[in-house]
């Protein structure tokens, strides 16, 4: 079971219960990358329930997401603010404010 699992969190259920409603792109011990159900772009989800990525985790996400098509990582967590995740988006993407080029 993932650390700090919350049954009311859709991202915890995605990681722990394998409630994958879209395409699973890749995963490792730290993150799972799926197509975001809302935006239809790759989304990296931390396999621990907490609100922010640690610096080393962010670097790992950058390394993994560089393998895929996209121009910026959008670190803004809109719909699920308490479980760390980010989106790989084309640039420009409407509403993207907290992003970095990869």
- 17-43 tens-digit pLDDT: 999 999 999 999 999 999 999 989 999
Tell me the average pLDDT of the chain: 90
Among the four given CATH numbers 3.40.630.10, 3.40.190.10, 3.30.950.10, 3.30.428.10, the one describing domain 10-101: 3.30.428.10
Q: What is the mean pLDDT of residues 40-62?
A: 96
Q: Considering the entire predicted model, what is its pTM?
A: 0.89
CA–CA dist 89, 87 (Å, integer): 6
Maximum mean pLDDT: which of 20-24, 66-70, 98-102: 20-24
| Res 96: pLDDT | 64
Q: What are the sequence ranges of the domains in the chain?
A: 10-101
| Res 4: pLDDT | 82
Q: What is the mean pLDDT of residues 62-86?
A: 93
CA–CA dist 66, 43 (Å, integer): 13
Buried b (16+ CB within 10 A) or exposed e, 67-97: eeebebbbbebeeeeebbbbbbbeeeeeebe
């Amino acid at each position: 079971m993932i650390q700090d699992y919350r049954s009311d969190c859709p991202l915890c259920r995605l990681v722990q219960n394998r409630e994958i409603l879209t395409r699973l792109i890749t995963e490792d011990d730290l993150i799972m990358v799926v197509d975001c159900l809302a935006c239809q772009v790759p989304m990296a989800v931390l396999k621990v329930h907490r609100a922010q990525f640690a610096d080393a985790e962010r670097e790992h996400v950058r390394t993994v997401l560089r393998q895929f098509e996209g121009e910026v990582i959008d670190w803004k967590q809109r719909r699920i603010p308490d479980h760390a995740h980010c989106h790989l988006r084309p640039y420009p993407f409407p509403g993207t404010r907290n992003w970095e080029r990869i």
